[in-house]
Each structure stands twice: as structure tokens, then as C-alpha cells.
């Protein structure tokens, strides 16, 4: 864990990550940016964040993916959406989402038993 011995830095780091994820939601409103989003390696980074230790980060990334792949946007975006979807598939996005759902379900179950 980054900054495990320094809780204030850890919290700051997590808050900064959350803020950056929130900024990415703006891309969902501009599908013409999807090819650049892919070229910059952002999808690969997002797939890595799906398995983040902090489930709040994982949930935020799943929400971002939902926004980016919204069916209404897909109709309008065409080729741009295809580029994004292909990249998500290339980096095992579907598998990672399913694994993350299982992890979140386990987290809920362990919280219920506490």
C-alpha cells in the first residue's frame, strides 16, 4: 500500500485519484475523444484500477465504463465507440468487471457478518 506508514499522504493520494477519475467522466460526453483516449493508454490504466485495493476506486471506474459505453452514445458515436470497446475487450475489461463484481459481493458479505 502506497504511504502505508503515512496515513495523511495515503488519504491525500486516494482523494487525488478520486478527483482524477471524476474528471474522466467528461470524456463520456465527447465520444469523438475516444480514439485519443485509447491512444494515450487510458483504457489499460482503467483496467488496472478496476482491481484497486480501494473498492470505492473500483466502483468509480465501473461507473465510468458504464458512462463511456452508454447505449445512447453508442448509436451516435459509431466508429469511435468501436475503438473504445475493442480496447476494453483487448485488456480483458469484461473479465475484470466480472471479477470485480465477485470481489464486491464478497466485501458486502463480510460486512454483513460483522
Q: What is the percent of the chain where pLDDT is above 70?
A: 82
C-alpha cell at 66: 458504464
Give yes or no for residue 79 having a pLDDT over 80.
Answer: yes
Q: Are 62 and 97 in contact (CB under 8 A)?
A: yes
Q: Are 97 and 50 in contact (CB under 8 A)?
A: yes
pLDDT band at 4 (very low <50, low <70, confident <90, very high): low
Residue range 60-86: average pLDDT? 91
Instruction: List, for residues 13-61, the tens digit of each pLDDT value.
Output: 788 899 999 999 999 999 999 999 999 999 999 999 998 888 889 999 9
User: Any idea which residue has 460526453 for its cell?
Assistant: 29
**Average predicted confidence (pLDDT) for the chain:** 85
User: How far apart, in whole angstroms, are the C-alpha atoms of residue 52 and residue 93?
Assistant: 14
SS3 65: helix
Q: Are 24 and 69 in contact (CB under 8 A)?
A: no
User: Any idea which residue has 471524476 for its cell?
Assistant: 22
Count Cβ neighbours within 10 Å for each residue of 75-108 and write b for 16 or more, e otherwise: eebeebbebbbebbeebebeebbeebeeeeeeee
Amino acid at each position: 500500500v502506497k504511504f502505508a506508514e503515512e496515513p495523511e499522504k495515503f488519504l491525500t493520494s486516494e482523494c487525488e485519484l478520486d478527483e482524477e477519475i471524476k474528471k474522466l467522466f467528461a470524456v463520456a460526453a465527447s465520444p469523438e475523444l475516444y480514439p485519443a483516449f485509447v491512444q494515450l493508454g487510458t483504457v489499460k490504466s482503467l483496467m488496472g484500477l478496476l482491481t484497486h485495493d480501494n473498492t470505492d476506486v473500483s466502483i468509480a471506474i465501473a461507473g465510468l465504463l458504464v458512462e463511456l459505453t452508454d447505449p445512447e452514445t453508442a448509436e451516435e458515436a459509431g466508429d469511435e465507440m468501436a475503438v473504445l470497446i475493442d480496447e476494453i475487450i483487448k485488456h480483458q475489461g469484461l473479465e475484470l468487471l466480472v471479477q470485480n463484481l465477485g470481489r464486491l459481493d464478497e466485501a458486502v458479505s463480510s460486512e454483513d457478518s460483522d
